[in-house]
Amino acid sequence: MIKIAEKTFLVTGAGTGIGYSIAEHLIGSEARVVVHCNSHIEPAQKLASEAKTDCVVIQKDLSEPQAGQELVEEIINLGYAIDGVVNNAAIMTELSLDDNPSVWEEKWLKTLQVNLIAVSSITRRAIEHFKSKGGGIIVNISSRAAHRGDTPECMHYAASKAALSNFTKSIARNFAADGILAYSICPGFVDTEMTAEFTQNYPLSEILSGIPLQRIAQPEEIAAMVVFLLSGQVPSATGTNIDINGASYVR
């Protein structure tokens, strides 16, 4: 396993699913980890209590304005020098063209707030911090939907992830000279609670028929790639969008 001891990383949405696995792998790589969560506080606290490295939990609702900025400020005020940020927290609520216009806009706004605007606030403050210490790494967890689109019920989710992937490219292009690297990971279906909720109305056979690998990815696969990117071994790949989808969408 890659060792990144003595480095400090923030992982958002780490109380469950992909984020939890990323935090777990970083702890296993001997890194310090700030585990952010919102509703999944108990598993996050359990993870931190069992960690053999320095690990703290911060609970914050990223749907609230300024929450992203406040999250990074809180970490810095605790005395941590952040080496990398994994923007994983996201929501996916279904909508319909038949929804009341006010409901439609509310779902779009909340999705953009959590999946994009909070990420931009976290990243803006992180970039300021990275500049003061000579660099840092940002890994954004995007989606296959960012590039191929999604169902009518999840167009807002796909749009938020497309913007996130593009945001990653802008970070890479504009701040590489400051030692700041940025990568975007675009998973397809991953075996998480979010995926289970989304796919409960879809037969597994239907889902697998579109995946040449014939299986859904495991969170550990995403986590392994994140740890590798955070190790700093591939700086020339900054700005890259990395697909992890079983060849269900090949660009």
Can 248 be counted among the known catalytic residues? no
Candidates 29, 161, 183, 184; catalytic one: 161
Question: Please, are residues 111 and 93 in contact by the beta-carbon 8 Å criterion?
Answer: yes
142 in catalytic set: yes
Place of tokens 């970070």: 171
What phi and psi, each to the nearest 5 degrees, are found at residue 32? -80, 140
Q: Which of 5, 55, 4, 6 is nearest to 34 (CA)?
A: 55
Catalytic residue among 29, 121, 142, 248: 142
**Which position among 21, 29, 121, 143 bears the catalytic label?**
143
157 catalytic? Reply is yes
103 C-beta neighbours (distance < 10 Å), count: 12
Q: Which of 157, 160, 183, 248 is catalytic?
A: 157
Q: Which residues participate in catalysis according to the annotation? A: 142-143, 157, 161
